[in-house]
Amino acid sequence: MRYLTAGESHGKQLTTIIEGVPSQLNLLKEDINESLIRRQGGYGRGRRMKIEKDLVEITSGVRHGFTLGSPISLVIKNDDFKHWTHIMGEDPIDDDVEVKRQITKPRPGHADLNGALKYGHRDMRNVLERSSARETAARVAAGAVAKVILKEVGIDIIGYVKQIYNVKATDQHHLTIEDKKLKSNESTVRALDESKEQDMMDAIDQAKKDGDSIGGIVEVHVEGVPAGLGSHVHYDRKLDGRIAGSVMSINAFKGVEFGVGFDAANRRGSETHDEIAYDSERGYYRKTNNLGGFEGGMTTGMPIIVKGVMKPIPTLYKPLNSVDIDTKETFQASIERSDSCAVPAASVVMEHIVAWEVANALLEQFTSDTIGQLKEEIKRYRERIQQF
Ligand SMILES: Cc1cc2nc3c(=O)[nH]c(=O)nc-3n(C[C@H](O)[C@H](O)[C@H](O)COP(=O)(O)O)c2cc1C
Ligand SMILES: C=C(O[C@@H]1CC(C(=O)O)=C[C@@H](OP(=O)(O)O)[C@H]1O)C(=O)O
């Protein structure tokens, strides 16, 4: 499968085109809308999320609720566009007006300056419109389709918040994936530990009050993936590598770890590797899951546990210093309406980005012109590896 997204943050709409989805998959817009609504929520978001009501329109590739095997296009309208027609519309505008409202003071931490240098834009709006994480709505739509495929073959996935600023949720390893879904969906900050929810909200409120921003850590748990997905034979087929690359492509993500991750540096081999056991019911399994479900670029059959760290949001209401690209003088960076913390939303984004990579690896590995073929092949594969 592959997909492209198009659309500016305050333009008319976002578009996602997905190619390679098996035919005869039951796909309803409600499946996608549920994901979009989850992404919009979460404590710490700015005023924009009160304007938008992200809902998808499926404009091709699906008839009467079933995929055709042809490219699927998904459209999400930007409700905010109506306030931006004079800036983002197609009509030419007066040069003097245009110059006055150009953005010339790049925000440290955002794409403004690098994008302007690279594409030659004197008005950095031409960069920020596309670098905005508004685009993650289009990627979540693609991931929602991937999740429908995963569900058909018994794979479940959830993303949740582990840490906001310096407030850490206690580990909830004992929870089932179902419990994790319930808890994160009920929580204002999408964390699994109710006792830390208030502290997390307080940290967000304080940052907002100070004109500042904060980041945090999110985790994704995938269950039901058979062992041997991905491959050790070539660098670009290693599934942990593909997931890591995709997670790093999420706006503001600065690091990824699987299982114990960076803590592996503090451990000995005997405390790190997951002992192998066999049971005729379960097949091969591990007594622990320190490596987060991967060895040799392939899944082990244990849950995939992957974390991502999000830096604090770059737009600050008390801005850092920057340079005006017209005068070259020092100024405070420009202020755009902004979130003060988007970590809860980012946990939903990461869930969908990981879902896409896992579903894509399945479709590469198994015959999948129709969803029926995919299900049949995976069933046979699961039986084979259980008895291997
Ligand atoms: C869900 C989400 C919401 C975001 N909201 C904002 C925001 O309101 N203001 C902002 O400056 N950055 C926001 N960001 C982060 C920027 O989009 C990001 O920092 C920027 O595109 C530069 O890319 P980089 O941080 O990956 O280098 C958000 C990121 C995510 C994932
Ligand atoms: C629009 C979304 O997030 C936006 C991401 C974003 C940024 O700079 O990344 C800046 C803000 O946009 P605006 O300036 O219009 O308020 C966020 O609201 C969204 O997630 O749907």
Please classify residue 171 by burial: count the beta carbons closer than 10 Å to its beta carbon, then call 0-12 exposed, 13-18 middle and 19+ buried. Answer: exposed
Using the mean position of ligand 1's atoms as its centre, give its distance from the Cα of residue 311 in Å.
9
pTM for the predicted model, two decimal places: 0.97
315 pLDDT band, cuts 50/70/90, is very high
Residue percentage of the chain with pLDDT more than 70? 98
pLDDT tens track for 165-174: 999 999 888 9
Answer yes or no: is pLDDT of 348 > 70. Answer: yes
Of all protein residues, whose CA lies closest to atom 5 belonging to ligand 1?
Answer: 339
Q: How far is Cα 377 from Cα 274, in angstroms, rounded to an integer?
A: 28
pLDDT at 96: 66
| Ligand 1 atom, smallest distance to 315 CA | 11
pLDDT (mean) for 202-221: 96
- Give how far the C-alpha of residue 239 lies from the chain's centroid of Cα atoms, to the nearest Å: 16
Cβ-Cβ contacts under 8 Å for 120 (sequence gap 6 or more): none
Cβ proximity of 46 and 337 under 8 Å: yes
From 132, 140, 250, mutation site for ligand 2 pocket: most ligand atoms within 8 A of C-beta: 132
97 pLDDT band, cuts 50/70/90, is low
What amino acid occupies position 56? Answer: V
Cα–Cα separations (whole angstroms), residue 216 to 160, 162, 301 = 11, 8, 28
pLDDT at 112: 97
pLDDT tens track for 320-336: 999 999 999 999 887 87
Q: Is 108 annotated as contributing to ligand binding?
A: no
pLDDT at 173: 85
Using the mean position of ligand 1's atoms as its centre, give its distance from the Cα of residue 25 in Å.
33
Least confident of 60-74, 231-245, 326-340: 326-340
Cβ-Cβ contacts under 8 Å for 30 (sequence gap 6 or more): none
Would the CB of 232 count as within 6 Å of ligand 2?
no
90 pLDDT band, cuts 50/70/90, is confident
The secondary structure of the chain, three-state, reads: CEEEEECCCCCCEEEEEEECCCECCECCHHHHHHHHHHHHCCCCCCCHHHHCCCCEEEEECEECCEECCCCEEEEEECHHHHHCHHHHCCCCCCHHHHHHCCCCCCCCCCCHHHHHHHHCCCCCHHHHHHHCHHHHHHHHHHHHHHHHHHHHCCCEEEEEEEEECCEECCCCCCCCHHHHHHHHHHCCCCECCHHHHHHHHHHHHHHHHCCCCCCEEEEEEEECCCCCCECCCCHHHCHHHHHHHHHHCCCCEEEEEECCHHHHHHCCHHHCCCCEEEECCCEEEECCCCCCCEECCEECCCCEEEEEEECCCCCCCCCCEEECCCCCCEEECCCCCCCCCCHHHHHHHHHHHHHHHHHHHHHHHCCCCEHHHHHHHHHHHHHHHHHC
91 pLDDT band, cuts 50/70/90, is confident
What is the average pLDDT value for the chain, to the nearest integer? 95
99 pLDDT band, cuts 50/70/90, is low
Ligand 1 pocket (Cβ < 6 Å) reads 46, 109-111, 131-133, 136, 250-252, 313-315, 338-339, 342, 345-346, 349
Using the mean position of ligand 2's atoms as its centre, give its distance from the Cα of residue 331 in Å.
23
Residue with tokens 């995939």: 304
Cβ proximity of 149 and 30 under 8 Å: no
pLDDT tens track for 33-46: 999 999 998 998 88
pLDDT at 4: 98
**Phi/psi-derived region of residue 344, left when phi > 0, alpha when psi is between -120 and 50, beta in every other case:** alpha
pLDDT at 299: 98
pLDDT (mean) for 44-61: 93
| Ordered structural domains, the chain, with CATH | 2-387 (3.60.150.10)
Would the CB of 340 count as within 6 Å of ligand 2?
no
Cβ proximity of 329 and 16 under 8 Å: no
Q: How far is Cα 288 from Cα 272, in angstroms, rounded to an integer?
A: 9
pLDDT at 46: 85
pLDDT tens track for 4-33: 999 999 999 999 999 999 999 999 999 999
Q: How far is Cα 359 from Cα 1, in angstroms, rounded to an integer?
A: 9
Answer yes or no: is pLDDT of 78 > 70. Answer: yes
| Ligand 1 atom, smallest distance to 107 CA | 11
